[in-house]
Amino acid sequence: MGIRINLLLDHDLADFRNADDVLARLAPTAEAAQAVCRDRLASDPDRPHDSRSAWEAYLSSPREPGLRRFTGPGSLLLCVTASTARVRAGGRWRGFLADEPLRRAHLLAFRAIAGALGAGFMALYADSDEVDALFLSGAPPWECVERMDRMWGPPQGGVEDVDPSLVAAARLYQPSSVWFLEGVPKSSAGPERPPSSLDRLPRPSIE
């Protein structure tokens, strides 16, 4: 299967269990998500691809009362907890780093999803059992990102234009400890610069 692309973000959903509300938020992102599928089809026409054109909700499970799952175009799988959301893509992490068209297609979809869910930041990273376990436990988003920082060190620079040395490395081996942190704009002006420190991540206020 390979190591996949992951996105973790905060959200402002009033009720993450309300599938209709989540799907309404996600509906405008379907076109960007479909572009991910088209890009993967162009680069790998013999591989099976998801022909889905809209987001769908999985049935809620009594075994996962703190989690809702959704699937969307482009082989994107979204899981939402009370304060955090995670998207796992079908694309490989090495391809995301080394293939610029693939990276840009995913970024457009990820930024659309982040904006639709009211996120303040998004973290991009390779598959991680430890981060997954923390997310599924219901941990807040800033705690998940702090865990990434402890495991892998500070995030890389801008994800828009990955450092050429990292692109070259991704063509040779799996740089699984590389991750990115990006602010999400509240307008259409474009992506914000990454937060200067983890202290800028959204945290609950203490009264």
3-state secondary structure 54-100: CCEECCCCCCCCCCEEEEEHHHEEEEECCCEEEEEEEEEHHHHHHCH
Between CA 95 and CA 174 the distance in angstroms is 10
pLDDT at 11: 97
Q: Is residue 204 part of a domain?
A: no
pLDDT at 152: 94
Q: Is residue 58 part of a domain?
A: yes
Number of domains in the chain: 1
> What is the domain range of residue 45?
4-199
Q: Are 203 and 140 in contact (CB under 8 A)?
A: yes
Cα R_g (the chain), whole angstroms: 16
pLDDT at 189: 40
Q: Is residue 207 part of a domain?
A: no
- Token pair 């436990």 in the structure block, residue: 137
Q: Is residue 37 part of a domain?
A: yes
Q: Is residue 206 part of a domain?
A: no
User: What is each CA distance from 207 to 46, 62, 143, 198, in whole angstroms?
Assistant: 56, 33, 20, 21
pLDDT at 193: 43
- Chunk the chain into consecutive blocks of 10 residues (it has 207) and report each block's average pLDDT, rounded to whole numbers: 89 96 96 82 58 89 93 94 96 88 93 96 95 96 96 88 82 83 68 51 48
